[in-house]
Structures are given as C-alpha cells and as structure tokens.
Amino acid sequence: MPKSEMLRARIEPRLKYEVEAIFRKLGLSTSEAINLFYTQVQLRKGLPFQVALPNELTLKTFKNTDKNEDIVNSDNSDEMFDKLGI
C-alpha cells in the first residue's frame, strides 16, 4: 500500500535536532523512524518501551546527584560494583 497519510506534530527544536542527528547515525530518516515506531506499537498493541514515573528512591537519587552528592566514582565496572556491594 502506498504511503499517503501525513503526520504533523509540534516538537521542541533542540530535541528535534538532537534526535534527528541520532537517526542519521543509525541510517534512518525521520519518516523511517516514525514508521518504525508506529509498526512496533501496532505489533505490541502498545508502546514499545515502559513508561513509568520514577519511584521515591530514584527521585532522591536524581536530587542528590544534581547537588553532586552521594556520587560513587570508579575507574571501571568491577571497582564500582565492589564499592556498591553488588
């Protein structure tokens, strides 16, 4: 079936620019990316990713890191996991 429907949306210019740069790196046009998204929604009968609000621990972590508090610095993943006790 030929593609004949048009889709118009307003989006913040900086977001559009940054995302389209990622699409170019992936070898996708904006239209191809939108078609890919729509196809995944159709196949999954919903969004192809989880949409959720952050929980209290995540919100606290965001606030602390924004204030440059409670940050664990490591040279590699093994050291990070050791420091975190994981």
pLDDT one-digit tens code per residue, 14-50: 999 999 999 999 999 999 999 999 999 999 999 999 9
Question: Do 19 and 25 form a contact (C-beta atoms < 8 A)?
Answer: no
Q: Give residue limits of the domains in the chain.
A: 13-44, 52-86
Query: Is the pTM here over 0.85, yes or no?
Result: no
30: CB partners within 8 A, 6+ apart: 20, 23
Q: How confident is the model at residue 70, as a pLDDT?
A: 86
Q: How confident is the model at residue 42, as a pLDDT?
A: 98
Q: How confident is the model at residue 3, as a pLDDT?
A: 82
Average model confidence (pLDDT) for the chain? 93
Mean local confidence (pLDDT), 48-76: 92
Tell me, what amino acid is at 56?
Answer: E
